[in-house]
Amino acid sequence: LVFTEEDKYGLYSNLLFKYFLAEGIVCGHELFVASAKEHPDNILKELPAPLLDNTYRKELGDEGAAVKSEDFQDSMKIAWRYQNLPKVEASPTTHTKFGHYYDISKKMPPELCQSVKWHSFYLHEELSVEPKMKPCNMNSGYAKLLHSIQRIISQEGFDGSDPQKKQRNVLRIGIQSLGSILWGDDVCCSDAPEDPHSLTKFLYVLRGLLRKSLSACIITVPTHLIQNKAIMERVTNLSDMVVGLESFIGSERETNPLYKDYHGLVHVHQIPRLNSLICDVSDTKDLAFRLKRKLFTIE
């Protein structure tokens, strides 16, 4: 379970969310997309286009060339006796390929999106069907979402206790802006919400579903609106990986010369350590992101 703290305007977290889904399509995974804000069909139409092996070098040639010229200048500065020491690489340049790269200036072709099976959950459509029963102390939107995820896991053969009869696959779940008022939760607009445990109960059950199935999930939450620190601590403890995006838009850091090349900071609060009582915390504290014409990069 990857928990993403949204930046103030949700621009960059939305991009990260789309990268996660796009990677699922390129890897042939099945998708489940849930939102209360934007229809999942529209989210899937806006995914970035993948740069396939033969084109990614050509497409990123100009940016790669700039990196190489910087490397050359650096090597000129290094004293000759250090020249042969192995150089640590901070970010993948054109000759190292990690995962897949995407061009955010282009949209993924519809035929590629249709090559995988995907399921959508749009809260306003789901709530129009009258709920048969309201479970104890849980927001009805969250309860419907859990029921839907559970149904897909069992029907599509992702249940770990049941051997898959078809070719093994992974279910990628994306949930957008959970905890916002659109989900019917007041955790973001009140210091003392009516039901402070609704979000934590949802995450507790969701993590149980993820543990017993072949699935991975990303959630974005507008945490800058959650004033109650106790809720934030519980939510962090119920997630495997917690990443925060802090945008420079509208802050004094926007004009700080130190950050002139970047658009925001990435805070890695927690790294997965499965079946352990405590989670790992990242040693790297100085990660920043920038949005280029074609690429969203974390450095």
Q: What is the pLDDT of residues 208-242, one digit of tens each?
A: 999 999 999 999 999 988 888 888 889 988 998 99
State how far the Cα of 3 lies from the Cα of 257, in Å rounded to an integer.
30
Please give the chain's pLDDT, 299 residues, in tens.
Answer: 999 999 998 899 999 999 999 999 999 999 999 999 999 999 999 999 998 765 555 555 555 545 455 555 555 454 444 445 544 444 445 556 677 889 999 999 999 988 999 999 999 888 877 655 555 668 889 999 999 999 999 988 898 877 666 677 899 999 999 988 899 888 887 777 777 788 999 999 999 999 999 999 999 999 988 888 888 889 988 998 999 999 999 888 888 888 889 999 999 988 887 777 777 776 767 899 999 888 899 98
pLDDT for the residue numbered 62: 53
Tokens 């306003």: give the residue: 124
pLDDT for the residue numbered 19: 94
pLDDT for the residue numbered 265: 93
Report yes or no on whether pTM surpasses 0.75. yes
pLDDT for the residue numbered 79: 45
pLDDT for the residue numbered 128: 76
Residues 257 and 41 sit within 8 Å (Cβ to Cβ): no
Structural domains of the chain, ranges and CATH numbers in brackets:
2-49+98-298 (3.40.50.300)
Give, in degrees to the nearest 5, the angle at Cα 243 between 274 and 297.
120
pLDDT for the residue numbered 57: 54
Residues 261 and 287 sit within 8 Å (Cβ to Cβ): no
pLDDT for the residue numbered 171: 94
pLDDT for the residue numbered 2: 94
State how far the Cα of 34 lies from the Cα of 173, in Å rounded to an integer.
8
pLDDT for the residue numbered 67: 47
Partners of 71 in the β-ladder: none
- 111-133: b or e for each residue (b if 16 or more CB lie within 10 Å)? eebeebebbbbbbeebeeeeeee
Among 217, 209, 206, residue whose Cα is nearest residue 171 = 217
Residues 186 and 179 sit within 8 Å (Cβ to Cβ): no
pLDDT for the residue numbered 257: 87
